[in-house]
Amino acid sequence: MLVSNVIQRLRQSPRYKWWVGLAISIGILVDVSHFGAVTVVQPFIGNNFDAGLPAVQWVIVGYMLSVSALLLPMGRLSDQVGRKRVYIVGLVIFSVGSVISGFADTLVLLIVFRIIQGIGPAMTIGNQMAILTSVFPLNERGRAVGLHMTMVGIGLVIGPTLGGFLSDIFGWRAVFFIYGPLGLISLIPAIWILRDNEVERATTGKTGSRLDLVGAVLSALALVAFLLAMTNGPNFGWSSPFIIVLLVGWTVIVCVLLFWELHIPSPMLDLKLFRSQLFSIGVITRSLNMIAWVTPLFLMPFYLQGVVGYSARDTGLVMTAMVVATAALAPIVGRLSDRFGTRPFTLSGSILATMALFLLANISTTTPIIWLVAFLVMHSSSYTLFNVPNSTSIFNAVALNDHGVIGAFLQLLRNVFVVTGIALATVIVASTMDAHGLRPNLEMGSKAVASAESMAFVEGMRNTFLVMGSLQGLAIILLLIRPEPNKSRHGKISDA
């Protein structure tokens, strides 16, 4: 009786949106920190199963493929059957998948369990943003997106720390065992606070609509082919038959998918949304931003440990500064973009990102660490400055009954273009080192490498930042030439 009274008071509270924010924030922390924790324990997993990096990486890659392939179908499913229902089932699958992964007695079985576990986050990740934007009014959605990004930043800090602590004391299996209960704990506020009221039914129910199973299968196949090509291209070689078959297959599947989605009454993702220049430019600039954003995160650990000679701990401290900047700035940007509109922030964020990348393109083997940290924090801040209002504007440009699939779509863009950015950075650095007659080597140790190899790597890294800065500059041009905002589907201005 007491519990039911508490639940009723929470659901009827005038601050209900913030209680929802609390419930979703717990789920975000569990999701994001789990990924970081598992990343840290990969060396322990390799030692346990006597496996090398190419095999162990599938503990992460298999999980990401599962999540990415199912994001869009699960996002559309949540729009059709209810976001709370899909979100809760996702948390259960995540929790059970984590526990059974801890019991795996072979690497193959662990990878299979991780693929199964990935079904859960596919159901929750896109849903988190959709639920938040559904309960916050249109003029406060920046706050919702800012809250989401803050929790992501905190999770990125907590995950590696918790994973390292648990694996050092209890072994790598403890990471999987602990996230089972943590996932189930995050169920409690979700069940208590989230409600399937008349608002959610109005925004999720679609009379006569059915899940687009053909589109779901085609999109999953396309994503798996693309991600496999991007992750294996640098190792196999881009002209290898395996990579060519994957890319050709991806192209064919995408063409079939586009034709199918344009000719069915209830598509998984309504491609007509791209007729809006505000929506399409928002998506394109977001994609360019993701490609450029990930390159410093990917290359800096190699530079700091392999060239400068920093320890893993000191490297982690430098990289943490970037995450802290994101977490601290996100809620501020969210509130300001609600008040002053999204356009000034997306444009200033792109300009700041371009400046930061061009500054990073001038670093050397002797760049003072204080300047390097300043450039990295500048770059991380630009990501927040752009991404929060960009997400808000994209959600504002579509109807509420599409927020589930759009939330999943935005997360999918992140996964796809982060992988693309890493692949592109690898190609540029490897090509530069190869041009100097040196073996392309990104697997540098904790001590500074030989001078020639060090200089070649730094040159390749600088070339990468120049390319990424140019791509970010293209985003600035697109933001400048876009049309003036029109009224959104909700009768209010949406300035993408």
| Tens digit of each residue's pLDDT (9 = 90 or more) over 434-483 | 888 776 654 543 344 457 778 888 899 999 999 999 999 999 999 888 66
pLDDT digits (tens, 9 = 90+) for 345-385: 999 999 999 999 999 999 988 889 899 999 999 998 998 89
Q: Which pLDDT band holds residue 119 (cuts at 50, 70, 90)?
A: very high
Task: Give the H or E element holding residue 364.
Answer: none
The hierarchical CATH code for the domain 1-207 is 1.20.1250.20
* 224 CB-near residues (< 8 Å, 6+ apart): 65, 68, 69
Q: 39 in helix, strand or coil?
A: helix
C-alpha–C-alpha distance, residues 65 and 62, integer Å: 5
Q: What is the CA radius of gyration of the chain?
A: 22
**Is 441 in contact with 251 (CB distance < 8 Å)?**
no
Q: Indicate the average pLDDT of the chain.
A: 82
Class of domain 270-496: mainly alpha
pLDDT of residue 114: 94
- In DSSP terms, 493 is beta-bridged to 487
- Tokens read off for 162: 């918790």
> What does the angle CA 431 – CA 433 – CA 434 come to, to the nearest 5 degrees?
60
Question: In 263-402, where does DSSP find H-type helix?
Answer: 277-302, 312-340, 343-360, 369-396
C-alpha–C-alpha distance, residues 166 and 168, integer Å: 6
Q: Which pLDDT band holds residue 169 (cuts at 50, 70, 90)?
A: confident
Mean pLDDT of the region 161-181: 88
**Is 334 in contact with 21 (CB distance < 8 Å)?**
no
What is the pTM (predicted TM-score) of this model? 0.76
Is the model's pLDDT at 104 over the cut of 90?
A: yes
